[in-house]
Chain A
Amino acid sequence: MRFALDEYAHLKSPIHRWNPQYKLIGLLTLMFAFATVEDLRLLPVISTLTIILYLLSRLPLSFLLTRLRYPGIFLFTVVAILPFFSGETVIWQWGIITLRQEGLLAVVLIVCRFLAIFITGLVLFGTSSFLNLIKAMRSLGLSPILADMMLLSYRYLFELAYQLNTMQRSTRLRGFKPTQFSWRNLQVYAALAGSLLVRSYQQSQEIYKAMQLRGYGTSMKSPQSKRSIDVYSVIALIITLAIAIGLIGLEFLL
């Protein structure tokens, strides 16, 4: 099983060049700005900005489409009923099925905002390695414990998946039919989940010992790395922040 969080982090693009710290601030601010948009007249603006951002990142379309699948299904289940029940103005009717204008516009707003925020998030996480992003978050004030937890979760997610895969294979080799729905099958799944929980707990204790043995928890301060100012990243941040503030300002004015 292969996880592809950093699959395209090695590409070369203007967004990849952007320092992760500045990128984090800039794109998160942009995502918040997108979230504040309520006026439909701003939707073409945020859509255009998102498309430009994605094109600049040189991430393949397949990357977006594969990651959009499950969130898209979730979004669909949430908004699908809105056009039929939300609002007063009826624009189409067939028998008892009524399409309402306000509901339809609400769907357009929600979908556009969702896509803008989601795609911006993909650009953020797809153009930097997970490790560099965690380091950037840590340098911006994320609690060291939270940062370590995220790093360890990322690292051992693959181990857990591998162990689960191995256990599942072992059950199949002994005649277990996973597609059958039965009380016994549920018990087996519960046992698998319980085993995984216990194993991961035991492993976490061993890992903590290994970390302690290499000085974790009582560390000396290491000298700060000399950081030169990355002009490109600063300019990109200023532009992004200006766009975000502009969007919020426009929303406020309109």
Chain B
Amino acid sequence: MSQTTPEQINSSSTDLVDKNGIIVEDLVFSYPNQNPILEEISLTLKPGEQIALLGKTGTGKSTLMENLVGLKQPNSGKILIQGISLEPKNLFEVRRQIGFGFQEPNDQLFMPTILEDVIFGPCNYGVSPEEATEQAQELLADFGLADVTHRPVHELSGGQKRLAALAAILALNPSILILDEPTNGLDPWWRRHLAEILPELPVQVLLIASHDLNWVRRVTQRAMVLQQGKIRVDMPTEQLLQDSSVLESCGLPLDY
């Protein structure tokens, strides 16, 4: 069994000429007066990669992703997004590079209609409402949501909300897309539809946290497993899912 160890990843990151993508070095995160949730996490996500972030519930997947988008500040360590160090003073600029999809799309669709939601981000970044509306309508049409652009969000189905939330994120043309449990609450048809769409998106890096092992097998080529605050395993997705001893040692189900 061959696995890339965190140490190997760490040493290779410093040799990278191309600093695009995400580079994390020795990230430590804990809540005040609590044990660390993330311990010396180091990883590199290169342009062109589609990566699954796996692990049991409560291992810190969402926490790691929230650190990557600056929603949480690490205790120590470094995060580079497209070569720019993620710091509180430059969050506004860096966040334009990253699209983050929440577990619950209702938390992400906060305007009365989905068209308003999709133009929300671009308008905050200086795009005129007319231009943002035109781009939003094209994007929603690409996702098959042209007929519901003016519908209230609460009238959409779960799958439509998921796609609308994705459109709202992509409206800013991010180069990195991070999705937290994107198949939650979706029926098989929508899961398949999402699996077809995601690889075609114009993003350089796609990072997905998911419990749906069958689904990530279709969408990602690389998988990392988070366990007890560290990246325990980092290997090709297919190889991981075929190795029952690794799955077992990581606490992942064998009968997925």
Contact = CB atoms under 8 A, between A and B. Distances in A.
Interface of A: 130-131, 151-152, 154-156, 158-159, 162, 203, 206-207, 209-216, 218-223, 225
A215 B71 contact: no
B108 interface: yes
Interface string B142-178: 0000000000111000000000000011001000000
B115 to A, nearest CB: 10
B116 A222 contact: no
A154 to B, nearest CB: 6
Interface stretch (B95-103, B197-205, B216-224): B95-103
A222 B100 contact: no
B71 A225 contact: no
A99 B132 CA distance: 64
A131 B112 contact: yes
Contact of B111 (A151, A212, A215, A221): A151
A209 B71 contact: yes
B96 to A, nearest CB: 7
A131 B113 contact: yes
A207 B102 CA distance: 10
Interface stretch (B24-32, B40-48, B119-127): B119-127
A211 B125 CA distance: 12
Nearest to A158: B154
Given A158-B154, A203-B107, A215-B92, 12 more contacts: A151-B111, A206-B102, A206-B104, A209-B66, A209-B102, A214-B172, A215-B121, A218-B91, A218-B92, A219-B126, A220-B125, A223-B128
Nearest to A162: B154
Contacts of A158: 152, 154
A210 B153 CA distance: 16
B111 A155 contact: yes
B29 to A, nearest CB: 16
Contacts, number: 85
Nearest to A226: B130
B106 interface: yes
A213 B92 contact: no
What are the 5 tightest A-B residue pairs by CB atom distance, in nearest-first order?
Answer: A215-B124, A214-B121, A220-B126, A206-B107, A219-B124
B58 interface: no
A38 B241 CA distance: 80
Contacts of A203: 106-107
26 contacts: A131-B112, A155-B110, A155-B111, A156-B110, A203-B106, A207-B107, A210-B107, A210-B110, A212-B95, A213-B69, A213-B71, A213-B95, A214-B120, A214-B124, A214-B169, A215-B96, A215-B125, A215-B172, A218-B124, A219-B126, A221-B126, A222-B123, A222-B124, A222-B129, A225-B128, A225-B129
B106 A219 contact: no
Given A215-B121, A219-B123, A159 B69 contact: no
A155 B107 CA distance: 11
Interface of B: 66, 69, 71, 91-92, 95-96, 98, 100, 102, 104, 106-108, 110-113, 116, 120-121, 123-130, 132, 152-154, 168-169, 172
Question: For A151, A206, A209, A222, which residue has the most chain B Cβ atoms within 10 angstroms?
Answer: A222
A158 B98 CA distance: 30
A133 to B, nearest CB: 11
Question: For A158, A203, A215, A225, which residue has the most chain B Cβ atoms within 10 angstroms?
Answer: A215
Contacts of B92: 215, 218
Nearest to B71: A209
A158 B112 CA distance: 10
Question: For A151, A159, A211, which residue has the most chain B Cβ atoms within 10 angstroms?
Answer: A211
A188 B153 CA distance: 30
Nearest to A223: B128
Question: For A206, A210, A216, A220, which residue has the most chain B Cβ atoms within 10 angstroms?
Answer: A210
Contacts of A151: 111-112
A210 B110 CA distance: 9
Contacts of A159: 106, 154
Nearest to B130: A225
A219 B153 CA distance: 24
Contacts of A155: 110-112, 152-154
A212 B96 contact: no
Contacts of A216: 120, 124
